[in-house]
Amino acid sequence: MPAARHDPSTDVLLVRHGEVVPAHPDHPHPRLEDGQGDPPLSPLGRTQAEAVGRRLRDVGVDAVYVSTLRRTVETAQPLLDATGLLPRVEPDLRELHLGEWEDGLIVQRLAQGDTVAVRVVAEQRWDLIPGAEPAASLAARVRAALQGIATAHPGQRVAVFTHGGVIAQALALATGAPPFPFLSGRNASLSQVVLVGERWSVRRFNDTAHLADDLSRVGVPLT
């Protein structure tokens, strides 16, 4: 069993899921009932998940949380196998719903110079995307999810396997900065936030020391 920590803080290790199988016009990602994409990990993503498991298996993780999307469960699985912990599903950790721009369309539109996509980034407004979740809704549920985890795990270390948009929002809430600059976090990267009551502090962002190809790829916003 992990050794108990003698303070009231909750150490939250935010892990972005591994790389997913890319969407193709003829083979779109599986969708949940609300239309949100739910792709599996790619072969590289599974390799990244194994690296995360090796990194975290001996650091004293007391609990593991995942979202309702399969890529977080698949990324957490090597750590679950190594520790014997069971995943706890928190629906409010799911990725930002991008409405009509699911399946990575926002990345494609940015690469093409789409005027609406350019405005989304320039104005930092998800609501410009048809059917997308409002930023205020994302912020509220991310705050509620992490505060709930902190309340359930005082003095403990928790691994939270989640998504780029959720991690960016969590770091924005902790720092008071806008969330968009934090969207550069890589797949399978590690960020860390410590919660003491309603006070949040950031200890690390986009830590990829466990990934062998650290310098060969860059992060992309939302998958």
Q: What is the pLDDT of residues 92-127, one digit of tens each?
A: 999 998 888 887 777 788 888 889 999 998 888 888
> What pLDDT sits at residue 100?
85
Longest dimension (CA), the chain: 54
Residue 95 among the catalytic residues: yes
At 16-29, the pLDDT tens digits run 999 999 876 666 66
Residue 32: CA count within 13 A, CB half-sphere: 16
Among 16, 15, 64, 68, smallest CA distance to 37 is for 68
* Residue written as token pair 């679950």: 80
Query: Pick the catalytic residue: 50, 74, 90, 95?
Result: 95
Least confident piece of the model among 24-38, 166-180, 202-216: 24-38
In one letter, which amino acid is 214? D
| DSSP 8-class letter at 197 | T
User: CA–CA separation, 180 vs 196, rounded Å?
Assistant: 25
- CB of 9 within 8 A of CB of 194? yes
What is the residue whose two structure tokens read 């549920």? Answer: 141
Give the residue carrying structure tokens 């609990």: 63
Active-site residue 6, yes or no? no
